[in-house]
Structures are given as C-alpha cells and as structure tokens.
C-alpha cells in the first residue's frame, strides 16, 4: 500500500485524535470518590466499553450526550454501586472536556497539505464541534452518528461516508481509514473494502474503553501514534 494512492484520509475521532480514555476516566472520578470505590482505570474503562457498545446497539438514534449519560448507571452497577441522575447527566456532558492527544493537531495540519481530511465519528454535531477546537484543524467532511442515525460498527455508517465522498468525486479506493478502534472501525472498514491504518495507541495494553473483538481484522498499516503515522507519510 502506497500513501500516494489516496486522496482522502477518514478518521475516527475519539480514541484516535481525542484522548477519550483520559476524558472518560476524569469524568468518572467524581462518582468514584463519592461512592468511595477503589477501582483501577482499566477496570473502569472496560466497564464503559461494554456499557457504551450495548447502548449504541439498543438505541442507535439517541444523541451521544444522552447515550453517554445512559452508560453511567450500567457502568456503576457493574462496579458495585449506583449513581444519581445528576451524576449521569454530568457524565453525558463531559465530551467537550476530553483532551486531544498531544500529537493530533500537528499531525493533522501536516496531513491536510496532501489529503482531504474526513471525520467519521460516533458522536453528535455539537460535541464534535467542541472537540474540533482542540484539534485546531479544519476538516473537509464531517459525518456523525447524529446525522447518520446509527453508531459504528453498523455497516450503514461506512456506507454513508462512501456515498457522500463519491458524490464529491472521491471513490472508496482513494480513501484510507485511520482509526484506533478495531471494534468500532477496522472490522467493518476492512469488510467494506476500505484501506485501513491502525493507530494502536494502547500498544498491547488490552481493549481499554473499546469493546474487544474476537477476531482482529488485518489492517494495512499499523503505527503507535499520529506522530509516527505522519512521519511515515512524509517519508513516502
């Protein structure tokens, strides 16, 4: 696979460009302190991954802040305590506070010199707009779960992106999908024939906030960070 073959890079945002695991953990800590629970970060993130994927499957049309709020009661019960409605609502509003990875903004600004930049994200428009301020880079296309009406890994999300890009003269063969999540992104992207690049932020540390997959899809390229990815692109 040559990077020169592509016209556009499509990105998952949360986990790839935005450090959602730190954001989730920071948003969860007030409840942990109030509940006086000694729960490690990876256990909490695994509980989130299970609750979030179940909620996205059960209520695909629900906007992400409300869906995120729905995950907290399921998480907290799994961890052995209950949360209040106010705590769930605060958790649902936390996305704008989630930080960007330190290498995201620079990498995106370098990549936009060569490629159209696309977002395919499992959030709502308002939440992404706040996150976009942290990324400091304009995107050519933004496709969210809110407008599509479903959440990745539903096939429709990738089909929607392919249709919209094709309408602007960018065929699927000219799109490289760049993402961290094997569950949300790579298993379906590869199934639909997209070239893929795995930004393996966790580097063998398990699934984290992402639900594990039984059979890991084969991605075309793998990098540990956006910084490493953009260096490889520049070198090519």
Residues with a catalytic annotation lie at: 12
**C-alpha torsion 156→159→164→166, nearest 10:** -170
146 to 73, 142, 210: CA distances (angstroms): 22, 11, 20
Residues 120, 158 contacting (CB under 8 angstroms): yes
Cis peptide bond upstream of 146, omega within 30: no
DSSP code of 186?
I
How far does the chain reach from its first CA to its final CA, in angstroms?
A: 11
Angle between helices 85-92 and 20-35 (to 10 degrees): 160
Instruction: Cite the beta strand spans of the chain per DSSP E.
Output: 8-11, 116-121, 141-144, 175-179, 195-199, 221-223
Helices and strands (H, E) in the chain, number of each type: 10, 6
């Amino acid at each position: 696979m040559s990077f020169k073959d592509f016209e556009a890079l499509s990105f998952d945002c949360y986990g790839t460009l935005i450090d959602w695991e730190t954001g989730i953990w920071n948003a969860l800590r007030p409840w942990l302190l109030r509940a006086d629970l000694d729960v490690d970060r990876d256990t909490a993130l695994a509980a989130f991954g299970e609750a979030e994927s179940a909620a996205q499957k059960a209520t695909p049309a629900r906007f992400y802040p409300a869906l995120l709020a729905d995950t907290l009661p399921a998480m907290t019960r799994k961890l052995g305590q209950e949360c209040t409605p106010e705590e769930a609502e605060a958790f649902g509003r936390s996305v704008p506070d989630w930080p960007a990875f330190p290498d995201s903004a620079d990498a995106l600004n370098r990549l936009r010199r060569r490629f159209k930049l696309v977002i395919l994200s499992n959030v709502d428009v308002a939440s992404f707009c706040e996150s976009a301020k942290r990324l400091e880079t304009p995107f050519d296309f933004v496709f969210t779960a809110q407008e599509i009406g479903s959440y990745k890994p539903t096939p429709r999300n990738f089909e929607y992106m392919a249709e919209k890009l094709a309408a602007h003269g960018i065929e699927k063969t000219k799109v490289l999908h760049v993402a961290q999540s094997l569950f949300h992104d790579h298993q379906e992207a590869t199934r639909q024939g997209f070239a893929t690049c795995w930004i393996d932020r966790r580097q063998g540390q398990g699934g984290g906030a992402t639900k594990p997959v039984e059979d890991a899809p084969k991605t075309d390229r793998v990098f540990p960070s956006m910084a490493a990815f953009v260096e490889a692109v520049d070198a090519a």
